[in-house]
Structure 1
Amino acid sequence: MSLPMASVNRTGGRTTRWKSGRRRGAGLPAAALAVPLLLLGAPAAPAAATETVTAPAAAGAGTVAIEATDAVTLPPMVTHSARTAITIGFGKDRPGHPTGPRTITVDTSGAAAVVDFFQFPDCERGATEDIHVCTVPHKKADGSDTVTFTASAAPDLQGGAARLITYTGSWGGVPATPASTRVRVGTSTDLRAAAPRPVGVKPGSGGSLAVAVTDKGLVGADAFLLTVQVTSARLSLVKDPACTYDTQYGRDRLTCRYDVPVAPGQTVAVRPVRFTTRADSFNEEVAFGVTALVSPGPGEPPAADHDPYWTGTKVRVVTGADFRATGARLTGPVGAKLTARFSFVNAGPAATDDGPGMYAVVTVPKGTEAVDVPRVCDPTLDDDGSQPDPEHPGRYQCPFLNGSGAPGIVHTLDFTFRIVTADVAPGSVTVRENSHAHPTDPDLSNNTAPIAVTVTSGSSSSPSSSSPASSPGPGSGPAADPGSSAGELAASGAPPVALIAAAAVAALALGGAVAYTSVRRRR
């Protein structure tokens, strides 16, 4: 899984655009995000300081002036995007005011480098991305309608000089007195944890993480909370007596309080976080959530400054997952329809169940055509890289479901072939791993198995034979016999009883088996 990193890289000369929405920390699993927030009692985002003033009207009853929020201080975007409202309008009607459309042009170019703006109704983009033309409605009896848009601090920015948003406009064609809003980014703590990736971790062993906390903000913390949570039950945290320990969805979590001040720019090392691995561990991850605690005043206890900032580190276990395939032998006359069952298994020791860990590629034997294929399978490129024949594809790719890479689970696919000619050649079935989510397969020789075809004399109405040579049963199948690399399954004409029985025995031996054989008819 990918861990949510709250930091967002920025480049010089960045142009800020109006956006439909922005939220930091997206993609973090609920177990790693929602639970720590509940534990810590996440505080509400600090309110921005706002002030609304009326621009002084020039002498004369008919003067038109724009009214706008005078100044705002935006909370730094540490863990999420806190938006602050800015309002603009023309104030209440007064004698001598004109009639007709009321428009205000908003120019955010002066603040675009440090502020993200979010457009709301009644505004349209102008000549550039920093210009918006807003129509101020006149629905209220006194004409005090306003237009509101919001702004938030750009990522990883704190402090700095105030920037200006400027407004020009007109009412019924009469130019209005301009106005502006001063915008600045406030300051806060910004504590983040980091730990180097451990090296040489083995299955069924242990290790530790050297965690350090750094304040990247402009305000120091009086203390902090460090929450450590694993993202898989294959990794366990060793209990620290100075911390609270619990589990969420079967995953360990530690919460430790450190009454240690952290100044802006300072890095503080904490106690090592120790962990243990299981026999099936492979590519694990540990998440760190840091909450800064700041005293609101002299003698008052420190309180959470903002939501936890989440980071994480990988724990790569030196291991492998041995994927194996079992093929089939098709025996029958020309014209016969033969059903073959292919089986696939991860013989371990590592698991690859954090995503679609496995998929199969079935190459149709020469001289046959596939007439029934599982619903999960789709035609794919032929051996030479050419596009598949739309009527008679030569290869199919069949993804397995999430969690398919757990060790010992046998997966099956049923294909029905028709022998169309006596000139035949073997096909193949291959089990593969998704490259983004797997450890190294220690033995690739058993990933591919043949689909053998034997053409017999006689008519297609003659009974077809079945001669399974190997199936996923105890001591002989891919899950139990490390020496088995390919098997042969029964032909059609009679149910593959031997195969099914053997597979059932394998399922009991392995503690359960998962198979899906949903089939669609192609003709």
Structure 2
Amino acid sequence: MLRTSLDRCLSRRTAATVAATAIGVIGLIPLAAAPASADGSPTGLALAPLASIDGVKPGGSFQLPGTFANKGATDLDKVYLSYTVTRGLAPQELPSNCTRYETGSYDENPSHSAVVCEFDQTVKTGAVYAPEKNLSLDVLGHALYESLRVEVATYNSEPSDGNKETVRGTGPAVKLTELPSTTPVRDGNVDHPDWDGAGVPVTVDNTADFRATDARLKGRVGDTVALDAGFTNEGPAWVLSAQGDPVAKVLIKMPAGTTVTKASGACSKVAAGSYRCGLANYWIEEKGGVAYTFKLRIDKAVPGAEGSVTLVGEERPYDRNKKNDSAAIVLDVDGAGGPTGGSGSSGGGSTGGSGSTSTTGGSGTASTGGSGSTGGSGSTGGSATTGSSTTGSDLASTGSGSALPLAGAAAAALAAGAGTVLLVRRRTARN
């Protein structure tokens, strides 16, 4: 699962060298296999091959890789090992020669943690090294599809983007130890001999339950009412998807007898009274959600008419409860002898403009030995922010009870996303 935007955040040097390698729904920030120089000359720092980490459980932990070689022509006086992880993972207590950076959500990047360790010792040419004691990561309760990035460099690769909190390690300093020269390592890269980096996908044995939200509208014939329809992530895991692909899409079908006078800017009309909606972000936090606001005019009371909200799009193997993937939109027309649709819980009868509303929340990402993560870690659960209003589809669209043809769904307009805890910004919706 390629996330090039997050990769740019994790390392400012890697944007031009990221390989577009997709591996289903597992989070991965891969670096292309580094070519050796054409004449076989030394190429500098090179990491050992990295394997994916699968099947770890919430509440567990695992050790970080950190083996590398100096394939350059000269000894080095100092090197830095750095690790960057997504918000479902948290570094444990760190040695004093390591610093942790917590960066909140910004632009297209969810919150994440980075650790940079300085090794002030000679690294001989042709030798292979690893920390004498591996660092460890905790797997948090909301972890699911996570990413780990490892880098070795001759200079400090401290994160430069976003609003970050810095915590210095307090444990005994860790040194590098020399390994046998036969230890496998990758080829270095002649284009950047002073650093090497690679991404590792981490798959956690966890679930997330996406629930479509029902709605009940009320008004008289001729009234215009607001509809808020969407879904929530009941957790326990957050979900990080491939960049460019929303974690889910929503199909909204209006009750018969209504006309859409203003559609959400995050949605595209795919049939009369039917809209397909995407997300501004490619992740959703635990206990977060999205609501799409429409304005409907009640044209007439249609007995038995009922709209719907249905989750569609990408497969969600982590979501094992499919019974709540669809919900009803019920319309009560005053003076029409009762509701025109079936039963439903209280929903989006509030007024408002077009756009989408995102909510984020859930547990923080505090780790032993320092303060927890900041920004989009969900440390303030249940807050909501209304997205920027967009033009969307202003032409009236009459609701229909016919089956919806899915072919020919149009691309979305602009939608609103979440930010530093809730980043408010205008971005292209992905639907």
TM range (shorter): 0.5 to 0.7
- 1:449: how far off? 0.3
Distance in 2, Cα, partners of 1:466 & 1:488: 15
Q: Which amino acid aligns with 2:98?
A: T
- Once the two structures are aligned, what percentage of the paired residues are identical? 21
**For the structure 1 residues 199 and 291, does the alpha-carbon distance in structure 2 shift closer, same or farther, using more than 3 Å as the test?**
same
- Aligned positions of 1:122-521 closer than 5 A: 156-160=35-39, 187-213=42-68, 219=72, 222=75, 225-241=79-95, 243-247=97-101, 249=103, 251-257=113-119, 259=122, 261=124, 263=126, 270=131, 271-291=133-153, 306-330=193-217, 337-352=224-239, 356-380=246-270, 388=271, 393-402=272-281, 405-417=284-296, 418-420=298-300, 422=302, 425-431=305-311, 440-453=318-331, 487-489=345-347, 510-516=381-387, 518=389, 521=394
Tell me if the contact between 2:98 and 2:116 (Cα under 8 Å) persists in the aligned partners. Answer: yes
Deviations, residues 418-474 of structure 1 (Å, cap 9, x unaligned): 345736532210245755xx771131211210123466766xxx9x989998xxxxx
- 1:379: how far off? 1.2
- 1:340: how far off? 2.9
- 1:253: how far off? 0.9
- 1:311: how far off? 0.8
Tell me if the contact between 2:224 and 2:295 (Cα under 8 Å) persists in the aligned partners. Answer: yes
Name the counterpart of 1:90. Answer: none
Distance in 1, Cα, partners of 2:37 & 2:221: 77
Name the counterpart of 1:33. Answer: 12
- 1:288: how far off? 1.4
The 3-state SS of whatever aligns with 2:115 is: strand
- When the two structures are aligned, how many residues end up with a matched partner? 305
Q: Which runs of 5+ in 2 are unaligned?
A: 19-33, 104-111, 156-191, 353-358, 360-379, 397-431
Name the counterpart of 2:29. Answer: none
Tell me if the contact between 2:306 and 2:330 (Cα under 8 Å) persists in the aligned partners. Answer: yes
- 1:313: how far off? 0.6
**For the structure 1 residues 364 and 439, does the alpha-carbon distance in structure 2 shift closer, same or farther, using more than 3 Å as the test?**
same
Name the counterpart of 2:363. Answer: none
- 1:491: how far off? 6.0
Tell me if the contact between 1:374 and 1:517 (Cα under 8 Å) persists in the aligned partners. Answer: no
Distance in 2, Cα, partners of 1:517 & 1:373: 13
Q: Which runs of 5+ in 1 are unaligned?
A: 5-25, 37-77, 81-154, 161-184, 294-304, 381-387, 470-485, 497-502, 504-508
Q: Which amino acid aligns with 2:12?
A: L
Tell me if the contact between 1:351 and 1:406 (Cα under 8 Å) persists in the aligned partners. Answer: yes
The 3-state SS of whatever aligns with 1:279 is: coil
Tell me if the contact between 1:238 and 1:276 (Cα under 8 Å) persists in the aligned partners. Answer: yes
Tell me if the contact between 1:332 and 1:465 (Cα under 8 Å) persists in the aligned partners. Answer: no
The 3-state SS of whatever aligns with 2:327 is: strand
- 1:259: how far off? 4.7
Distance in 1, Cα, partners of 2:81 & 2:294: 50
The 3-state SS of whatever aligns with 1:324 is: strand
**For the structure 1 residues 193 and 254, does the alpha-carbon distance in structure 2 shift closer, same or farther, using more than 3 Å as the test?**
farther
Deviations, residues 353-409 of structure 1 (Å, cap 9, x unaligned): 6764444220223444423322221113xxxxxxx3xxxx24212223327612223
- 1:274: how far off? 1.4
**For the structure 1 residues 406 and 289, does the alpha-carbon distance in structure 2 shift closer, same or farther, using more than 3 Å as the test?**
same
**For the structure 1 residues 259 and 233, does the alpha-carbon distance in structure 2 shift closer, same or farther, using more than 3 Å as the test?**
farther
Tell me if the contact between 2:45 and 2:195 (Cα under 8 Å) persists in the aligned partners. Answer: no
Deviations, residues 335-360 of structure 1 (Å, cap 9, x unaligned): 65444332532111111367644442
Q: Which amino acid aligns with 1:489?
A: G
TM-score, normalization by structure 1: 0.47
- 1:277: how far off? 2.1
Tell me if the contact between 1:196 and 1:209 (Cα under 8 Å) persists in the aligned partners. Answer: no
- 1:238: how far off? 2.8
Tell me if the contact between 1:283 and 1:315 (Cα under 8 Å) persists in the aligned partners. Answer: yes
Larger-gyration structure (1/2): 1
Name the counterpart of 1:124. Answer: none
Deviations, residues 90-116 of structure 1 (Å, cap 9, x unaligned): xxxxxxxxxxxxxxxxxxxxxxxxxxx
**For the structure 1 residues 289 and 439, does the alpha-carbon distance in structure 2 shift closer, same or farther, using more than 3 Å as the test?**
farther
TM-score, normalization by structure 2: 0.56
What is the RMSD computed on CA atoms of the aligned residues? 4.6
Moved over 6 A (4+): 464-469
Distance in 1, Cα, partners of 2:58 & 2:313: 20
Distance in 2, Cα, partners of 1:444 & 1:400: 20
**For the structure 1 residues 335 and 517, does the alpha-carbon distance in structure 2 shift closer, same or farther, using more than 3 Å as the test?**
farther
Distance in 2, Cα, partners of 1:206 & 1:199: 12
**For the structure 1 residues 254 and 452, does the alpha-carbon distance in structure 2 shift closer, same or farther, using more than 3 Å as the test?**
same
**For the structure 1 residues 399 and 307, does the alpha-carbon distance in structure 2 shift closer, same or farther, using more than 3 Å as the test?**
same
Q: Which amino acid aligns with 1:212?
A: T
Distance in 1, Cα, partners of 2:339 & 2:82: 59
Q: Which amino acid aligns with 2:150?
A: F
Q: Which amino acid aligns with 1:241?
A: P
Tell me if the contact between 2:145 and 2:240 (Cα under 8 Å) persists in the aligned partners. Answer: no
Distance in 2, Cα, partners of 1:191 & 1:309: 6
Q: Which amino acid aligns with 2:115?
A: R
Q: Which amino acid aligns with 1:253?
A: V
Tell me if the contact between 2:147 and 2:202 (Cα under 8 Å) persists in the aligned partners. Answer: yes
Q: Which amino acid aligns with 1:487?
A: S
Q: Which amino acid aligns with 2:326?
A: T
Distance in 1, Cα, partners of 2:285 & 2:42: 47
- 1:239: how far off? 4.2
